[in-house]
Amino acid sequence: MHQTLECSLTGETVDINQLQGLSPSGKPLLARYALDQLQDFTPEKVRQRQDRSMWRFHEVLPVDDPSDAVSLGEGGTPFLRLTARGEFARFAELWVKDEGANPTQSFKARGMSAAITRARALGVETVALPSAGNAAGAATAYAARAGMKCVIFVPEDTPPANILESVAGGATVILVNGLINDCGRLCRAACDKFGWFDLSTLKEPFRIEGKKTMGYELAFDLGEARGGSTLQLPDVILYPTGGGTGLIGMWKAFDEMEQLGWIGSDRPRMVVVQAAGCAPIVRAFHNGSREAGVFENATTVASGLRVPAAVGDFLMLDILRQSGGTAVTVSDDELMRGTLELAREQGVHGAPESGAIWRAALQLRDQNWIRSDESVVLFSTGAAVKYNHLLTADGTLRVNQHDTDWLLRLGQTLRGSLGT
């Protein structure tokens, strides 16, 4: 591999040809590439590639030969301009990157594809990880694809769809009466005892490499959507934040693209969005701290945001400050409202985490923190289908086929709901 692994705090390097977890200082390791030697790796070359998956950026991913990638076609997700109606019209340019279109319906597919590719290359037979839900489904699928065994530790109240897809995909699922950090502790103990490889996010160096491809794709998507051939970034990016791997990954992608000479030094203002019931990064950002600590009694229906402590806290907080960004919370009622608005007004069926960033964008627009002439990208990190347990079918009309007055009743309902 023509890469090195460097501690994100101290810069100390470790051997990339060995399995690695955290750095000797207990911090995330980041992959570094000899970018100055990649003269042939240009946007034009990337555009010409038949492969639309994230592996079209294979020069900056953990493979020597792209045919070694463990792939299910992740990446290349839709980039949609939201229709300017109702409150959505309050933004000059509002875009969604729809990560729910990935294999296993979330952006976790990108990280797992990269991490399991590297783990397989280094001979791993069993991977284990704690998950809030979507990472479990993704790890299950990629481990199956790689011919590996997979062990998942999830909170017992994880969305049923995530548990079922992992069981169906052949993973061993352990339900824990605690939160994701408790799952992480038990997972670590099991890895030490049984010799499994711990795939915990940011405690393993390559999930972030997969997730950073969201940043590469965004620059291509926005440039192409605006009709040009240059790579472009928006003024503001909103990201629903748990462990923060996607946010840190995108920022890394922007730096790499600048070193490659693909973009300049301008950066979007990055916004961390968390649930009011679990907001360690928002709290630390507004306290002026560089460490977030643990958010006690974490609770939210947006399971991906229920991450009370993040090992990459200092990286996220640095990015928010460097980018001139901010951090906001959204209540559970508000984020569910946002989820329905995206579905009903835009046809985008996103996870509750996606509803959260839409409502956060409105909050920031109300404060004029996002100005009316700015371009904004929402990262819809997952699809609604995994969260059906949060929905009800209260608004449906039941019809008995032998009723004689059903058309009358339908007419009454339509008058109420469609205003006809």
Report the alpha-carbon distance of residue 140 to residue 348 in Å, rounded.
Answer: 26
Query: Min. distance of Cβ 201 from ligand PLP in angstroms?
Result: 6
- Which CB atom, from 16 or from 135, has the smaller least distance to ligand PLP? 135
Query: Min. distance of Cβ 269 from ligand PLP in angstroms?
Result: 18
Helix H or strand E encompassing 356? helix 352-366
Is residue 273 within 8 Å of 243, Cβ to Cβ?
Answer: no
Query: Min. distance of Cβ 214 from ligand PLP in angstroms?
Result: 10
- Which CB atom, from 23 or from 381, has the smaller least distance to ligand PLP? 381
- Which CB atom, from 291 or from 366, has the smaller least distance to ligand PLP? 291
Report the alpha-carbon distance of residue 187 to residue 180 in Å, rounded.
Answer: 10
CA 116, 119, 120, 124 dihedral sign is negative
CB-closest chain residue to ligand PLP: 304
Query: What secondary structure letter does DSSP report for 158?
Result: S
- Which CB atom, from 245 or from 339, has the smaller least distance to ligand PLP? 245
Is residue 302 within 8 Å of 351, Cβ to Cβ?
Answer: yes
The DSSP result for 41-79, as a single string, is --HHHHHH-S--SGGGGGGGSS-SSGGG---SS-----E
- Nearest CA-CA partner of 272 in 217, 227, 330: 330
**Which residues of this protein are in contact with ligand PLP, per CB under 6 A?**
106, 132, 134-135, 201, 240-246, 304, 351, 353, 381-382
- 33 beta partners: 3
Query: Min. distance of Cβ 353 from ligand PLP in angstroms?
Result: 4
- Which CB atom, from 121 or from 128, has the smaller least distance to ligand PLP? 128
Query: Min. distance of Cβ 307 from ligand PLP in angstroms?
Result: 6
Query: Min. distance of Cβ 18 from ligand PLP in angstroms?
Result: 25
- Which CB atom, from 222 or from 273, has the smaller least distance to ligand PLP? 273
